[in-house]
Amino acid sequence: MDFQLKVLLLIFCVVLIFSCKSVNKPYNYKRFPDNFSEIQRDYENYYYLNACEPGETIASIGAGNGIKEIQISCFIEEITWYLQEIDSSRLYQFEEVLAYRENLIGSSISADFNLVLGTENSTSLPQGIFNRILMLNVFHEIESRDEIMMEIHQLLDEDGLLIIMERIGKTEGEIHSDCGYSKLMEPIVLQEMNDYGYRLKRKQLGEEMSNLMFYTFDSKK
């Protein structure tokens, strides 16, 4: 094999490597799982605390591109999801995120996914159908919380639950490193939720280092 042919072959291999990476990992995220055991670890460490059940109808407000919800569906089957987001560019990534996870587990994920584009003042979700509504690391970013939190009362069914996952501040003035928003303190979150008409049913620590908390509420209305 002459020198020029070797060079061309080397260039082709480099292009192929980067091309494969872009196909396998096409969406923007800080960490990609490389195998099923990593997906399982995240679920068993954190996301099982959402207590989702097979066959439930669940909305996730501020779902982004659906990474967490797809991950939950690797272990809990037949969920009907409504993935709500105000940034349409994040929702556009959903199919690629789903394909990547299905490729890792080697099978299709048994869930029904509905994508919903909301606004800063309204979720645009259907009323009265949800067994569970998730707000995973998003509560602190919602600027029109009064309107959104009061709307959620109308979205839950009679026995519906609202789960809020937040990295709670340990001292005043802490900042979220990823989004730049201030971390909320637990007394403020709980008082605010009480003012919105929600009753705390359970709180659970998800991770001690980051003070990751899961709060489960029902509606007092």
pLDDT (0 to 100) of residue 30? 52
What pLDDT, on the 0 to 100 scale, is given for residue 15?
A: 36
End-to-end CA distance of the chain, in Å?
Answer: 78
3-state secondary structure of 41: helix
Q: Which amino acid is at 155?
A: L
Burial of 158 (0-12, 13-18, 19+ CB in 10 A): exposed
Give the pLDDT of residue 22. Answer: 37
Predicted confidence at residue 16, as pLDDT, reads 35
The model's pLDDT over 166-183, given as tens digits with 9 standing for 90+, comes to: 999 888 767 766 666 688
β-strand partners of 167: 212
> pLDDT tens for residues 137-166?
999 888 889 999 999 999 999 999 999 999
CA separation, residue 171 to residues 179, 181, 186, 199 (Å): 18, 14, 10, 25
Reply yes or no on domain 33-219 having CATH 3.40.50.150. yes
Question: Per the structure block, which two tokens stand in for 33?
Answer: 């799982």
Stretches in the chain below the pLDDT threshold 50: 3, 5-24, 26-28
Q: Cα(184)–Cα(207) distance, rounded to whole angstroms?
A: 16
Which ranges of 53-111 does DSSP label H, i.e. alpha helix?
Answer: 67-73, 88-91, 94-105
pLDDT 10s digits, 89-105: 989 999 999 998 898 88
- CA pair distance 158, 156, nearest whole angstrom: 7
